[in-house]
Amino acid sequence: MRVLLKGLSGNDVRQWQRFLISQGFLAQGLDTGNFLNKTDEATRAYQQAHGLTADGEVGPRTLAHALAHDLTLDRPPGRSFYTDVIVNHPLFRSNEPVNDLELLEPIMRQKVLTIIAEAKARGVDLMVSETYRSRERQVELFNGGASGLREVGVHHYGLACDLVRNFNGRPSWKGDFSLVGELAREVGLIWGGVWTKPHDPYHVQRCSLARQQSLFQGDWYPDDNYNPYEDD
């Protein structure tokens, strides 16, 4: 289960709502799968009743408390690189750009390193940019007009990064990035250069567009054998 908070929706939100109903914090019939005001209020009430930080966010501590006390969640949270590493990382809420390769899911990381090495062999020096982006940073970018997306995307899950030119150790977004697309296809990553809205020639990700909603809802995370081209 991903971290849940007001404004999100999905099966994991519905699961949490059913748990709150079973504990008497949320009224029957409100298991809609949409994390709105009533769910936020019920979550805060549950947290306050159990001595947790009453912030309305179903994070690792709140969920762990429920599971540790043998309360009636339908199932334990699904484990993945996102739940095991990213959620617990000190940069999880960073408002700054994060370029740490260790925050890329291991197979994604290896594919990105392969692209960089292959590009280098062809005389093109690439470097990574934004291997991870927090929800807080995405909102900040949206509010500042730097992004048309208010909700963070695949960058939040360790499954995407930007590959830009390395100009004396500094990132450069100038030039032709068709080689990134060619190499991304060879290693099995999706390239944003084929998109129109937005056209994103620096972006690569290990998740098909068809799978994105399941990823965001916490219903799915790629296994070692996943090939995004088999989805589209």
* pLDDT higher than threshold 80 for residue 82: yes
Tell me, yes or no, whether 40 lies in a domain.
yes
Residue 108: inside a domain: yes
Q: What is the mean pLDDT of residues 190-210?
A: 93
pTM recorded for the entire structure: 0.67
Q: Are residues 128 and 214 in the same domain?
A: yes
Which residues on neighbouring strands pair with residue 128, listed in sequence order? Answer: 163
Structure confidence at residue 68 as a pLDDT band (50, 70, 90):
low
**Phi then psi for 57, rounded to 5 degrees?**
-105, 130
The answer to whether residues 166 and 192 belong to one domain is yes
The one-letter amino acid code at 70 reads: D
Considering its fold, how many domains does the chain have in total?
Answer: 2
Task: Check which CATH number belongs to the domain holding 198 and give it.
Answer: 3.30.1380.10
DSSP string for residues in 90-154: TTTT-SS-B--GGGS-HHHHHHHHHHHHHHHHTT--EEEE-SB--HHHHHHHHHTTS-S-SS--G
| pLDDT of residue 218 exceeding 80 | no
On whether both 28 and 114 belong to a single domain, the answer is no
Nearest to 50 by CA among 75, 19, 80: 19
Range of 221's domain? 93-230
pLDDT above 90: percentage of residues in the chain? 52
- Tell me: do 107 and 61 sit in the same domain: no
Overall average pLDDT of the 34-45 stretch: 94
Sequence letter at residue 176: D
The token duo for 66 is 């429920």
Identify the residue with better confidence: 80 or 121: 121
pLDDT in tens, 86-138: 988 999 989 999 999 999 999 999 999 999 999 999 999 999 999 999 988 99
SS3 9: strand
Amino acid at 81: F
E strands present in the chain = 126-129, 160-167, 170-172, 190-191, 203-205
**109 and 182, same domain (yes or no):** yes
* Model pLDDT, residue 69: 58
Residue 88 resides in a domain: no
Between residues 108 and 197, the one the model is more confident about: 108
pLDDT-wise least confident of 104-113, 174-183, 189-198: 189-198
Question: Residue 125 is encoded by which pair of tokens?
Answer: 């020096």
pLDDT for 141 beyond 60: yes
